[in-house]
Every structure is written in structure tokens, then in C-alpha cells.
């Protein structure tokens, strides 16, 4: 739950939004919650996280594009969606964001949401 965030000027403080996500993720990691069965309040928090991250990602920020890929890849607060994950990872990877390049490569190696393709990876 760490990452470089966009500079000031976004409608919401992304540090705060990332913190909200991390609180829920820690609860899931400890077994106190489940991504597929969040409480109404937790789901509302994740909906908010998605909206803010999506707005930042649309503006071209590679770290939030990576985060959008991860949220869709792992199904955190949203349905797991490999094609969306690949789309966001690719946008971030095209800006040389190394974590996105790694995740995109893994998806091609494992054939997650795409035909397995080691040369593409």
C-alpha cells in the first residue's frame, strides 16, 4: 500500500484515498473481511477509491493506472476483470512503470485473460 501519487491539483487527496484502500486491504489480509463480501460501508469506500483512482488514471498518471490494473486483476472492491486489468497495466507499462510491466508480463506468461504468450511477456 505504498506508491508515488500524482502532484497536488487532483480533486481529492490521493494519499487519503490510498489510505482508505489500505485499511480495507489489511482487514482482508488478516481474515477479518473478504473482497467478495465487503460490508456496505466498505463497498462504499471501495467505490470511492475506484472513482478517485480512475479520475487520476484517466489523466495519465502511471502509478494510479497500475493501481487500477491491480484492483481489476485481483478483484479488490470490484469484480475481477482480466481484460480491464491488462488495459490499465498496459497504459502504465507504456509509461515505463516497472511494476506494471512485471504484472503485464506475468499475465501473458500465465495466460490470465489473454492467450498465453511468452514472447509477448
Render each residue's pLDDT in the chain as its tens digit; 121 residues. 544 554 445 545 788 888 889 999 999 999 999 988 889 999 999 999 999 999 999 999 899 999 999 999 999 988 999 999 999 999 999 999 999 999 999 999 888 877 776 666 5
2 is a domain residue: no
- The CATH number given to whatever domain includes residue 50 is 1.25.40
Q: Percentage of residues in the chain with pLDDT exceeding 70?
A: 86
121 is a domain residue: no
Measure the CA–CA gap between 102 and 99, rounded to whole angstroms.
5
pLDDT value, residue 32: 93
102 is a domain residue: yes
The alpha helices in 10-117, defined as continuous H runs, are 14-29, 40-58, 62-74, 82-93, 98-110
7 is a domain residue: no
Number of domains in the chain: 1
8 is a domain residue: no
The closest alpha carbon to 1, from 18, 13, 16, 15, belongs to 18
81 is a domain residue: yes
Helix (H, G, I), strand (E, B) or coil at 38: coil
pLDDT value, residue 73: 94
115 is a domain residue: no
Q: Which residue range forms the structural domain that includes residue 95?
A: 14-110
Amino acid at each position: 500500500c505504498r506508491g508515488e501519487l500524482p502532484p497536488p491539483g487532483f480533486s481529492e487527496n490521493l494519499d487519503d484515498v490510498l489510505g482508505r484502500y489500505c485499511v480495507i486491504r489489511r482487514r482482508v489480509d488478516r481474515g477479518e473481511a473478504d473482497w467478495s463480501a465487503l460490508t456496505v460501508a466498505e463497498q462504499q469506500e471501495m467505490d470511492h477509491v475506484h472513482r478517485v483512482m480512475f479520475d487520476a488514471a484517466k489523466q495519465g498518471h502511471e502509478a494510479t493506472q497500475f493501481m487500477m490494473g491491480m484492483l481489476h486483476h485481483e478483484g479488490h472492491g470490484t469484480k475481477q476483470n482480466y481484460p480491464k486489468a491488462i488495459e490499465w497495466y498496459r497504459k502504465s507499462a507504456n509509461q515505463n512503470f516497472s511494476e506494471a510491466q512485471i504484472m503485464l508480463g506475468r499475465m501473458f506468461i500465465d495466460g490470465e485473460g489473454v492467450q498465453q504468450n511468452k514472447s509477448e511477456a
